[in-house]
Amino acid sequence: MHYTLKRKMIRDLEFMLVNTIQPTSSNDTFNEYTYIDKNVFRNNSNTEPVIYELHVSYTNGTQELVGQTEVNYSSTAIRRTWGSIKAMFQ
């Protein structure tokens, strides 16, 4: 068994594979996993949400959609201008 995380922007036609997660034990009912998606780049003109899907693939070959969620990211980048950089050294 393993989990598959997929991502799609509204403008994309289909979901892209983001990460495959192998369970840490055979009894994986209550384990919690975290994934930080560092490949979503935003700017002020791009405000569309990102859609994630989580699938589970069983050892018998069947797959199941566990859930889907929509995330609105905000940019954490700091815009640096020449004036602001100069001011740091005065």
The model's confidence at residue 38, banded by pLDDT at 50, 70 and 90, is: confident
Q: Give CA 28 to chain center in angstroms.
A: 22
Query: For the segment 60-88, what is each residue's pLDDT rounded down to a tens digit?
Result: 989 999 899 888 876 555 555 666 665 65
Percent with pLDDT over 70 in the chain: 67
pLDDT at 88: 59
| Burial class (CB within 10 angstroms; exposed 0-12, middle 13-18, buried 19+) of 38 | exposed
Q: Tokens 């929509």 — which residue? A: 70
Average pLDDT, the chain: 78
